[in-house]
Structure 1
Amino acid sequence: MLVSMTCLVDSLETPAAEPLPADLAAQIALADDLLVMHPTRAEQVARSAIALAETQEEGVQAGRAAVLLGGALFFQARYDEARDAFGQALGTARAHHDRVLEARALNGLGNVVSYQGDYAGALEHFMASSRVALDAGDELGRVRVLNNIAAVWSELGEHGSALQHHQEVVTVAGRVGDASLVSSARVNVMVDHHALGEYGRALDLAETLVPALEAAGLRQHLVVAQAYRADSLLRLGRAQDAQQVILAALPLAEAIGEQAHTCFLLGTLAMTHQHQGQPAVALPVLERALALAGEHRLAGQERDLLGRLSEVREALGDFQGALRDLRAHHALERQIHAEDVDRKTRFLTAQFQLDSLKREAELERQRARQLEEDHSALQEDHALLAHVAAHDALTGLANRAHFQAVAEQTLARAGEAGVGLLFLDLDGFKAVNDTLGHDAGDDLLRQVAGRLRSQVRRGDLVARPGGDEFTVLLPHLRTPGDARQVAQKLLGVLTEPFVVSGNTVTISASVGVAVSPQDGTELAVLQRRADEAMYRVKRSGRAGVQTSSA
């Protein structure tokens, strides 16, 4: 059987690559078309497009080609290289202020770190991508994010939630009109049913999917569908049928460089031999799969393959080899478990915030019944992701990262127009925290946030970077003195008494002010000067406003 499989691989006919079009846009379009048809060929075309774009000094086009290169490398399980390509695209997108490209690059980075096991990092990338896509009006980008977040939930074992969201993506992607994304989501739905142990349902879906994928030429999707079709057949006791599917799918998987599912197919093939009482035939297949898993750092598959190898060696009477593989299996299992505990803890922290916001959003959705149901659900999910990524959970103000991003964009667009930056540090907050408790301190911070918001314009931004510190961004100042006037007004409302836990408390604030362009045009410079001005207030007795000395 191994000889037959090798012959199939060697005899696969791969058409000779046609000459690349000379036009840059045509090369990028070709790479996009090839991405889920032939990742290795898509890689070649994307690299050519990057080189051509750099020659022509077409920065944005180079970034678009880099995103496609990242996708092609991702499908080949070359995750470190894919991460570099997406990172290059992200830098280009931000340098050229291309929000659609930025959203796609962030989404790609989320996919990479998810497959590397960093689920919390993946969620952060996905939430950032969703926020950028929302700002850019990129509906397709937002649907891509939902599809990939559902995949992360599946990785964490929440297969029911993953299935629900993948089904939603099928509906919404169909409305948007992206056939490739619809196909991806349908394959994911099949994989979700397989993960839930619903092998009959997964097999039924595969029987419908496979002919459609073959007709559409979506070869990467086809490999995934065939891999889970074969495993479902094996788990339903149909080892010979599973073997036929694998031998048909393996040459295609290897030809397009789909390494992760080549490894998966080989592992399943070995198990068909084991089920047929052929451990000697299963052994070299497993060894080949294990080498592939190690080469591409597919830790989960490597762990499973070591366990299967141990069983096969035991069946062959190689008890020393079986013990060696079993020990390696358990060592890797412990390592993966330890890493998963940490990763899942960080992911679940972000997910708890998301779940809380979803409950609040459900009430909002009921007040907006005039919207189409599936559209409103999609909008809601992305609003939640954007909120988690941009806001402080305690006060509802902008968080440090969001404030930094908005401030940098504002300064970049400001030119000679004045932009004010205020840094406020509360005076007397620690005494309230120490005497009345942390709950009272949290209540006071929320009240402070409310007072600050009530005193600024619609276009101004108030943030809480942390602790008892607040920052305010004031774009479009008429004169530098306007920033000091706003600071005095904010100081005034903060010195009025607060009622906290039934107690009347009085605090104040030390406020530092910096204004561009006179105090600097870079955010880091303005922050430093506002901070220095605030500390001069602290040293002179607190409860005052000081402008930068620049």
Structure 2
Amino acid sequence: MGSSGQLTSAAPGVDTARLEALLTEIEARLLTSAQGALHLIAEAEALTLPDSPVGGQLLCLRGAALFYCSEIEASAASFASARALGQRLGDAALEARALNGLGNVASQRGDYVGTLEHFLESARLAGAVGDEQGRLRVLNNIGVIRGELGEYEEALRTHREVIEGTRRIGDPLLESSARANAVMDLCLLGQYGAAIALADEQLLALSKAGVRQHEVVVQTYRAASLLELGQLEEALAAAERAQPLAEEIADHDHLCRLLVTRGRALQGLGEGQAATTVLTRALTLAQDLEFRLHERDAHRALSDVQEALGNLPAALMHLRAYLALQQAIHAQHVDRRTRLLTAQFQLEALRREADMERLRSEQLTRDNAALRQDHQLLAHRAAHDTLTGLANRAHFQAEVSRTLRRGADAGEGGMSAVLFIDLDGFKAVNDALGHDLGDELLRQVGARLRQHTRRGDLIARLGGDEFTVLLRELEEAQDATRVGEQLLGALCEPFTLDEHQVSVTASIGVAVAPADGSDLTTLQKHADAAMYRIKHSGKNGVGRFSGSFPGTDQRNPA
């Protein structure tokens, strides 16, 4: 943010030069001492008008500092306040930065769908105002999410793209973050030698710059890579060097990783008791902060250590805890992957347009429209039968329940009905002409049912040759039977299937609410019973449910 923007954001009589210096210092302090950054933020806030661009910038900085301190809920609140302020001020860059922070918070909570939604919206806003730094910041975080989903090669490719982009615009801090993430990607890909080489290349520069949060990340995955290569003493030394730094900046995530690496290295060196102490601390910290992945890894390592020490009951306890967590984490991972399919489509579109400044905003607009269409398509598929396009059983039952509730609220004026329709003779057509033409017959039946019902009524296919109709807002109960007769007449007309003409009839059962049932189960059961009465008494008719049976029986006049 430029000086002129900051001057208008300062409180009257405030030393604007001091405010400018504080903002610069806070940005640098975030990655070295989050707690120290919070103190500086409080000082800067006293010099700033709260409802101003700089006030919003400070909210984002506070959110980031709280995030690094693992105070996730407080971080979320700060970013949410910054976003709301950006919307009030019409400041798209501020809103984009706040959304990026909210994406990180959602990731920490395990909400990857929310994460990508926040990131994509942040990228869209950044692109709209030409904020390339904001776009790359989001892309860097998306790479982290890809890594957490196990897409390590794509994560590495994304972080390398960010590295190239930051070199073009001259943002060494963001470049440093992307390079640290690339070390992590290489380690998780099993390219341990490459991870160590990149880490060694970066560590000297990080130490000179004092960017301690990035240094912790690089040291953590360098130590893990050494461990996986069997260089136990080197891994132990690397983890021990990095641990005080992680503790100092309160990076509990990487502290847990370092403790597990230390414990595994100690166990490999035959120091079982020391390994138990370190791994128990890792487990306790992971449980306190609900870091389930670290908790799982600590249990696994403790199981190995206790087995080596001959403490088999403890080894078995930790192994069981590991397996339970592994199963839960796997199930959660599968669920997240399933729900992310459409969101990842947009993410890929965002990546493809990364270097096309002029086209990016247009592409994102198209992709957002495509995502909405995908959501609509998925919602439609979830509620409709794929063969006929009619409502499916679940959607139909939900609509009947809603209609009955509205009818109960309306009293006597809330009359509705359910018609159960079972085709007579469908199996013979299906057997004679084959399943493809049988399916075509079902589609044509659905189309005829639509033609002879009102816009506000609902038709569903329950499966096979069973259909059902919800009639809403009836004036009198007899209307339901009359509609059933109209549908029966329509279905008795011949159908053309390729060069074949076939005829079928139908058995239709009617139940009217509230007289024949005021809840979903009762109404459906009674309509079904009425339909079976017609089916067993000669077919090709319409009958309304009667508790005493026989019910009203209307034969097709044709």
Structure 2 counterpart SS, 1:24: helix
Change in Cα spacing, 1:208 to 1:127, as seen in structure 2 (3 Å) is: same
In the alignment, which residue of structure 2 is the partner of 1:388? 367
Change in Cα spacing, 1:100 to 1:354, as seen in structure 2 (3 Å) is: closer
Task: Count matched residues.
Answer: 377
In the alignment, which residue of structure 2 is the partner of 1:36? 31
CA contact (8 A) 2:346 2:371 kept: no
Alignment of 1:261-280 (within 5 A): 261-280=254-273
Alignment of 1:112-127 (within 5 A): 112-127=105-120
Distance 1:335 1:236 in 2: 29
Q: Deviations over 1:114-158 (max 9, x none)?
A: 122211111100011011111222111011111111111111111
Distance 1:379 1:146 in 2: 18
For 2:164, which of 171, 178, 183 is the aligned residue?
A: 171
Q: Which amino acid aligns with 1:375?
A: D
**1:202 Cα offset (Å):** 0.5
**1:313 Cα offset (Å):** 1.7
CA contact (8 A) 1:24 1:49 kept: yes
Change in Cα spacing, 1:177 to 1:320, as seen in structure 2 (3 Å) is: same
Distance 2:259 2:343 in 1: 36
**1:99 Cα offset (Å):** 1.1
Name the TM-score, length of structure 1 as normaliser: 0.63
CA contact (8 A) 2:342 2:374 kept: no
In the alignment, which residue of structure 1 is the partner of 2:458? none
State the structure with more CA Rg.
2
1:213 maps onto 2:206 in alignment: yes
1:336 maps onto 2:329 in alignment: yes
Q: Which amino acid aligns with 1:198?
A: Q
Distance 1:41 1:21 in 2: 21
1:161 maps onto 2:154 in alignment: yes
In the alignment, which residue of structure 2 is the partner of 1:305? 298
Structure 1 counterpart SS, 2:355: helix
Structure 1 counterpart SS, 2:140: helix
Distance 1:75 1:395 in 2: 35
Change in Cα spacing, 1:217 to 1:353, as seen in structure 2 (3 Å) is: closer
In the alignment, which residue of structure 2 is the partner of 1:454? none
Change in Cα spacing, 1:438 to 1:271, as seen in structure 2 (3 Å) is: same
In the alignment, which residue of structure 2 is the partner of 1:292? 285
Q: Deviations over 1:378-421 (max 9, x none)?
A: 76666554543355654999xxxxxxxxxxxxxxxxxxxxxxxx
Alignment of 1:191-210 (within 5 A): 191-210=184-203
Distance 1:156 1:298 in 2: 16
Unaligned runs of 5+ in 1: 1-19, 366-373, 398-432, 440-505, 511-550
CA contact (8 A) 2:93 2:125 kept: yes
CA contact (8 A) 1:93 1:102 kept: yes
Distance 1:236 1:275 in 2: 12
Q: Which amino acid aligns with 1:119?
A: Y
**1:44 Cα offset (Å):** 2.3
Distance 2:87 2:336 in 1: 28
**1:49 Cα offset (Å):** 2.9
**1:347 Cα offset (Å):** 1.2
Change in Cα spacing, 1:105 to 1:390, as seen in structure 2 (3 Å) is: farther
**1:298 Cα offset (Å):** 1.2
CA contact (8 A) 1:117 1:340 kept: no
Q: Which amino acid aligns with 1:185?
A: A
In the alignment, which residue of structure 1 is the partner of 2:524? none
CA contact (8 A) 1:354 1:384 kept: no
327-336 or 210-219: which moved more?
A: 327-336
Change in Cα spacing, 1:393 to 1:116, as seen in structure 2 (3 Å) is: closer
In the alignment, which residue of structure 2 is the partner of 1:351? 344
**1:305 Cα offset (Å):** 0.7
In the alignment, which residue of structure 1 is the partner of 2:136? 143
Distance 1:381 1:264 in 2: 38
Task: State, as a whole percentage, how many aligned pairs show the same letter.
Answer: 42
Distance 2:313 2:75 in 1: 39
In the alignment, which residue of structure 1 is the partner of 2:247? 254
Structure 2 counterpart SS, 1:375: coil
In the alignment, which residue of structure 1 is the partner of 2:75? 82
CA contact (8 A) 1:76 1:260 kept: no
Unaligned runs of 5+ in 2: 1-14, 377-383, 391-450, 456-558
Distance 1:140 1:211 in 2: 25
Q: Which amino acid aligns with 1:335?
A: A
CA contact (8 A) 2:343 2:371 kept: no
Q: CA RMSD in A?
A: 3.4
Change in Cα spacing, 1:379 to 1:194, as seen in structure 2 (3 Å) is: farther
Alignment of 1:88-103 (within 5 A): 88-103=81-96
Structure 1 counterpart SS, 2:90: coil
**1:352 Cα offset (Å):** 3.4
Change in Cα spacing, 1:321 to 1:128, as seen in structure 2 (3 Å) is: same
Structure 2 counterpart SS, 1:224: helix
**1:169 Cα offset (Å):** 0.6
Structure 1 counterpart SS, 2:31: coil
1:316 maps onto 2:309 in alignment: yes
**1:247 Cα offset (Å):** 1.8
Alignment of 1:212-231 (within 5 A): 212-231=205-224
CA contact (8 A) 1:73 1:82 kept: yes
